[in-house]
A and B are shown apart, each in its own frame.
Chain A
């Protein structure tokens, strides 16, 4: 663990959180502690409850058992002021411009129009879309749409950002460019990020810690600290260290099925 986060306060604590749907246990007694400023990625086989776990931490799904604390407060529902969210699909509203989409969470909180615009311009600039403020989603490429979605997730200046396979629908080149962008944004905002992915190299490249989940029932089977130094560079993906780590995680994922 990096020195600056080792001492930082615990921002997300989940205590033996379980969630079942009927007789199916999606998540079984997941306990985890995330410190402020950490970048955590979550990997695991399909159906291991990664998305469900993220939705529980977002307050979108109530746990059947156990509890989640955000900043020491029990989580009882969505907390858009503290938690930003980015999904696999951009989910932009097609009749709104890029800026209006970014402003949507602020509109819900009745923030004044000029303040909204100021915030959305700042965020679109941060994600590298200063030139596409007034474009509609159908005028943007897949990568640009996902950047707008990231800007929307960050617009309330949340201390936690939950990302559910945000780059899964992008092509390889765009995806690797987005990794660099995301790490840059993370360093600028000092947010705590939980990032669900299927890509093991993506998980290693981005994270301080990789959480490996197993299935049937969904549970965390390993915490792996990534020893790669920061700032990360693209060539680290090809390093022997990263390769060995990937093989190790791959074996864990395979054993967790």
Chain B
């Protein structure tokens, strides 16, 4: 798509977003929406300006928790997944174990994480990382395993030692599958971190949303929801850029529709 086309897309999106906000505010002004239940853009703006921009503190806490959890889960998950994928017997052994762990609703362990790591950010980081780690390991491992083994044979025939076959051929070929796994993992992290904050914590966007809900600060609640959505959107955008940058060849080799 041309630069012009991309700009046009952003203009279109902004116009649609502004229209939605205007409709929301209009419905509130004419008395169609109960502000206690549905809030309103002006109430959200008021909430943002109150208490000396206190929401930024909550936003920052959640951002750091998500970033740390993502770092641990992605680095750990990709390294473990690649190593498991490289050793057939390990992959065969690990697949049912990983599938089993992924089937466990790890939320049941959250109270234990709070006991172990406290009510502050560390328990959210561990919870988010734990939830994302296993799907990332599994998709990375299956990604490496699904690469045509003839590529490994080719690289070995060209004189590549085993580690080089893995690093220079198998991992790059598995990259599209790996990024799909990271996408799932990051979505899990956002859900679990915010949810963890709602259940037991003293800061962060999840705490902000649930705390203000109990005292009927609907403007604050919607502000928290919007900030969380912005966070999720930003993470998704980063992933899409990574995908275009490092596995653009994958998209190009797909048959065009």
Tell me whether A and B are bound partners. yes
Using a CB–CB cutoff of 8 Å, the interface residues on chain A facing chain B are 55, 58, 60, 78, 80-81, 83, 85, 87, 89, 91, 93-95, 104-105, 108-109, 136-138, 152
B249 touches A58 (CB 8 A): no
The distance in angstroms between the C-alpha atoms of A136 and B154, with both chains bound, is 18
The distance in angstroms between the C-alpha atoms of A93 and B171, with both chains bound, is 12
B157 touches A80 (CB 8 A): yes
Supply 9 further A-B pairs (C-beta < 8 A) apart from A87-B154, A89-B148, A91-B148: A60-B153, A80-B157, A80-B159, A85-B158, A89-B150, A95-B249, A104-B155, A138-B249, A152-B158
In the complex, chain B residues whose CB is within 8 Å of the CB of A109: 159
Contact of B156 with A by CB under 8 A = yes
A85 touches B172 (CB 8 A): no
A108 touches B249 (CB 8 A): no
B150 touches A87 (CB 8 A): yes
Which residues of B, 99-153, contact A by the 8 Å Cβ criterion? 148, 150-151, 153
A95 touches B153 (CB 8 A): no
Contact of B250 with A by CB under 8 A = yes
Contact of B160 with A by CB under 8 A = yes
Given contacts A78-B157, A108-B164, contact A91 B249 (CB under 8 A): no
The distance in angstroms between the C-alpha atoms of A58 and B173, with both chains bound, is 24
List of 6 A-B pairs having minimum Cβ-Cβ separation, nearest first: A80-B159, A105-B158, A85-B157, A94-B249, A91-B154, A95-B249
- Residues of B in contact with A, size category: 10 to 19
The distance in angstroms between the C-alpha atoms of A212 and B155, with both chains bound, is 29
In the complex, chain A residues whose CB is within 8 Å of the CB of B157: 58, 60, 78, 80, 83, 85
Closest Cβ neighbor of B252 among chain A residues:
A138
B159 touches A136 (CB 8 A): no
26 intermolecular pairs with C-beta atoms under 8 Å apart: A55-B153, A60-B153, A60-B156, A60-B157, A78-B156, A78-B157, A78-B159, A80-B157, A83-B157, A87-B154, A89-B150, A91-B148, A91-B151, A93-B169, A93-B172, A93-B173, A94-B173, A94-B249, A94-B252, A94-B253, A105-B158, A105-B159, A108-B164, A109-B159, A138-B249, A152-B158
In the complex, chain B residues whose CB is within 8 Å of the CB of A85: 154, 157-158
A108 touches B158 (CB 8 A): yes
In the complex, chain B residues whose CB is within 8 Å of the CB of A60: 153, 156-157
A138 touches B150 (CB 8 A): no
In the complex, chain A residues whose CB is within 8 Å of the CB of B159: 78, 80-81, 105, 108-109
Closest Cβ neighbor of A91 among chain B residues:
B154
In the complex, chain A residues whose CB is within 8 Å of the CB of B169: 93
Closest Cβ neighbor of B161 among chain A residues:
A108
In the complex, chain A residues whose CB is within 8 Å of the CB of B153: 55, 60, 87
In the complex, chain A residues whose CB is within 8 Å of the CB of B250: 94
A91 touches B150 (CB 8 A): yes
The distance in angstroms between the C-alpha atoms of A87 and B158, with both chains bound, is 12
A95 touches B172 (CB 8 A): yes
Partner pick for A108 among B150, B151, B160, B172, CB 8 A cutoff: B160
Nearest CB of B to A144, in Å: 15
The distance in angstroms between the C-alpha atoms of A108 and B157, with both chains bound, is 11
In the complex, chain A residues whose CB is within 8 Å of the CB of B156: 60, 78
In the complex, chain B residues whose CB is within 8 Å of the CB of A81: 159
Nearest CB of B to A218, in Å: 19
Q: Which of A60, A89, A108, A136 has the most CB of B within 10 A?
A: A108
The distance in angstroms between the C-alpha atoms of A138 and B251, with both chains bound, is 10
Nearest CB of B to A152, in Å: 8
The distance in angstroms between the C-alpha atoms of A105 and B156, with both chains bound, is 10
Closest Cβ neighbor of A109 among chain B residues:
B159
Nearest CB of B to A247, in Å: 34
In the complex, chain B residues whose CB is within 8 Å of the CB of A95: 172, 249
The distance in angstroms between the C-alpha atoms of A55 and B151, with both chains bound, is 14
In the complex, chain B residues whose CB is within 8 Å of the CB of A152: 158
In the complex, chain B residues whose CB is within 8 Å of the CB of A138: 249, 252-253
